[in-house]
Structure 1
Amino acid sequence: MSDQNLRIIPMEESHREAWEGLYAGYANFYRTEQTAEMRARVWGWIQDPAHEVQGFIAFSGSQAVGIAHYRPFARPLSATTGGFLDDLFVDPSARGQRVADALIAAVGEVGRQKGWSLIRWITADNNYRGRAVYDRVAQLTPWRTYDLKL
């Protein structure tokens, strides 16, 4: 894949089938059960202009090779709005070709246009391949993440 063939575009209704395959791959990577109903809900969010979750899809030629979901979040301590990169997935066949870099850059451009103070994301400690990308394009923070299950 050459950089000229890579296109990062906002998700449209016609991308649903390609998105579903990539999002199922993402869930499988994190060993998370994901039902068709769950994917339908998230797809509905992405397609609803009033919902905060938005998405990009990456194409190499006519093949969908990656996705990114993002949203704004309030940062009260700094009195700013940041962007949160919720989900980032690149098809294994396209890894190592800077697709993740391009998806992160696209989210970053949205953030610049909207005046966000930063783009933030988390990943699993054992996501070594992803972390190699993240270490190259962003700064690792010292913060730990906690979940309070409700």
Structure 2
Amino acid sequence: MSVSVRPVLAADRERWSALYAGYRAFYALPDDPEAVDTTWHWVSTGEHGITGLVAVDDTAGSSDLLGLANVRRFARPSSATTGLYLDDLFTDPAARGRGVATALLHEAGALAAREGASVVRWITSADNATARRVYDRVAAATPWVTYDLVPGRDR
């Protein structure tokens, strides 16, 4: 199998949506077609600075999508630079172990370099051992701890 990565195209909507629904299911998020449709709109139009990348099987003329990555720009005031934040990365379970995630990560890095970004950053679940083996090969884990504050909620 030969894997290439390219920006998402309008024709990718159906397959991308199935992959994104798989991503949501992996993280035990509820089945929510409206959330998938909203994210597709953002990814396909660049809204919120989001770029959608897809991994494609180039073998024998195939154009099947094998995985997706959604990245967005963010400001880094402490370094006066910008970075790319990898919000979502997902590989079709049938294509895992074939370099799809690595190809998507390398393309995110190449996109960051082309744009002059200083970092590609992402988070993952601490128990996502399979993905972390890939991430540890291409990036460095940080010592930072992530917090979520629910807006409008007092402690």
TM range (shorter): over 0.9
Correspondent of 1:36 among 28, 33, 36: 33
Aligned to 1:108: 109
Cα distance between partner residues in 2 of 1:50 and 1:41: 10
Cα distance between partner residues in 2 of 1:47 and 1:62: 18
Aligned to 1:68: 69
Q: Would the aligned equivalents of 2:68 and 2:90 in 1 still touch at CA under 8 Å? A: yes
Distance 1:35 1:85, change over 3 A: same
Partner AA of 1:38 in structure 2:
A
1:46 Cα deviation from its structure 2 partner: 1.3
Partner AA of 1:21 in structure 2:
A
Cα distance between partner residues in 2 of 1:83 and 1:57: 16
Cα distance between partner residues in 1 of 2:134 and 2:19: 19
Cα distance between partner residues in 2 of 1:116 and 1:131: 23
1:121-136 alignment, distance < 5 Å: 121-136=122-137
1:41-52 alignment, distance < 5 Å: 41-49=38-46, 51-52=48-49
2:95 counterpart of 1:94: yes
Partner AA of 2:127 in structure 1:
N
More off after superposition, 40-49 vs 94-103: 40-49
Correspondent of 2:16 among 16, 19, 23: 19
More off after superposition, 8-17 vs 50-59: 50-59
Distance 1:138 1:24, change over 3 A: same
Unpaired runs of at least 5, structure 1? none
Give SS of 2:149's match: coil
Cα distance between partner residues in 2 of 1:49 and 1:125: 30
* Aligned residue pairs, count: 147
Cα distance between partner residues in 2 of 1:39 and 1:23: 7
Give SS of 1:141's match: coil
1:62 Cα deviation from its structure 2 partner: 2.6
Q: Would the aligned equivalents of 2:41 and 2:47 in 1 still touch at CA under 8 Å? A: no
Cα distance between partner residues in 2 of 1:94 and 1:84: 24
Cα distance between partner residues in 1 of 2:97 and 2:46: 32
Give SS of 2:49's match: coil
1:7 Cα deviation from its structure 2 partner: 1.9
Q: Would the aligned equivalents of 2:84 and 2:119 in 1 still touch at CA under 8 Å? A: yes
2:115 counterpart of 1:118: no
Aligned to 1:78: 79
Query: TM-score under structure 1 normalisation?
Result: 0.94
More off after superposition, 28-37 vs 98-107: 28-37
